[in-house]
């Protein structure tokens, strides 16, 4: 009896792996088909586990554009972006055929420049500057490639 249960578990795992592999192949094909479209359709995708996962998540739903949070949307602080994650993000962008003009970085929910409390106004100003600096970096990269 134990052997049958083990076999059933193994068979279920094999089926699950095949489904995942099929989804990955299908998402790459779907993305390739939609990249040429003048219509940009996508979603706000998760970057959990690393910013590079946003690209894979967008491709998995067949999106030819996507939005993502550049840091935690509910916290003031965030660890700096690791170079390995940035490199993986760029590699996946290239792999799936995305360009920076179809990616929308999303700001933090906590930013409120009109908040009368000094502490919140300070952090809101800080995050606004942070996002502006990130956008400047992206624009510089685009100009250097042109």
β-pair type (42-44, 65-69): parallel
- Supply the pLDDT for residue 95: 92
Q: Give bridge partners of residue 43 from the DSSP assignment.
A: 66
* Cα–Cα distance measured from residue 134 to residue 137, given in angstroms and rounded to the nearest whole number: 5
CATH of 2-107, one of 2.40.128.130, 3.20.20.150, 3.40.50.10470, 3.40.47.10: 3.20.20.150
Mean pLDDT lowest for which of 18-27, 54-63, 130-139?
A: 18-27
Helix (H, G, I), strand (E, B) or coil at 69: strand
**Band of residue 91 on the pLDDT scale cut at 50, 70, 90:** very high
**Band of residue 126 on the pLDDT scale cut at 50, 70, 90:** confident
pLDDT at 80 > cutoff 90: no
pLDDT at 13 > cutoff 60: no
* Cα–Cα distance measured from residue 42 to residue 102, given in angstroms and rounded to the nearest whole number: 9
DSSP 100-112: GGGEEEE--TT--
* Cα–Cα distance measured from residue 108 to residue 85, given in angstroms and rounded to the nearest whole number: 20
pLDDT at 122 > cutoff 70: yes
- Supply the pLDDT for residue 64: 92
Q: Mean pLDDT in the chain?
A: 76
Q: What φ, ψ does residue 53 adopt, rounded to 5°?
A: -70, -20
Cβ atoms within 10 Å of 46's Cβ, excluding its own: 13
User: pLDDT tens-digit profile of 127-144?
Assistant: 778 777 776 776 676 667
Q: What percent of the chain has pLDDT over 70?
A: 71
**Band of residue 82 on the pLDDT scale cut at 50, 70, 90:** confident
User: Could you state, in order of their start, the residue ranges of all structural domains in the chain?
Assistant: 2-107, 110-146
C-alpha Rg value of the chain to the nearest Å: 20
Burial of 16 from C-beta contacts in 10 A (0-12 / 13-18 / 19+)? exposed
Q: What is the mean pLDDT of residues 111-118?
A: 79
């Amino acid at each position: 009896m134990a052997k049958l249960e083990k076999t059933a578990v193994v068979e279920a795992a094999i089926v699950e792996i095949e489904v995942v592999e099929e989804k990955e192949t299908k998402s790459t094909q779907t993305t390739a088909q939609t990249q040429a479209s003048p219509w940009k359709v996508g979603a706000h995708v998760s970057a959990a586990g690393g910013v590079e996962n946003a690209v894979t998540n967008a491709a998995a739903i067949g999106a030819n554009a996507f939005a993502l949070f550049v840091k935690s949307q509910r916290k003031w602080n965030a660890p700096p972006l690791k170079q390995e994650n940035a490199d993986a993000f760029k590699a996946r962008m290239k792999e799936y055929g995305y360009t920076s003009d179809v990616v929308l970085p999303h700001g933090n929910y906590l930013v409120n420049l009109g908040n009368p409390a000094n502490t919140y106004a300070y952090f809101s100003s800080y995050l606004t500057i942070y996002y502006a600096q990130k956008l400047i970096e992206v624009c510089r990269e685009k100009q250097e490639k042109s």
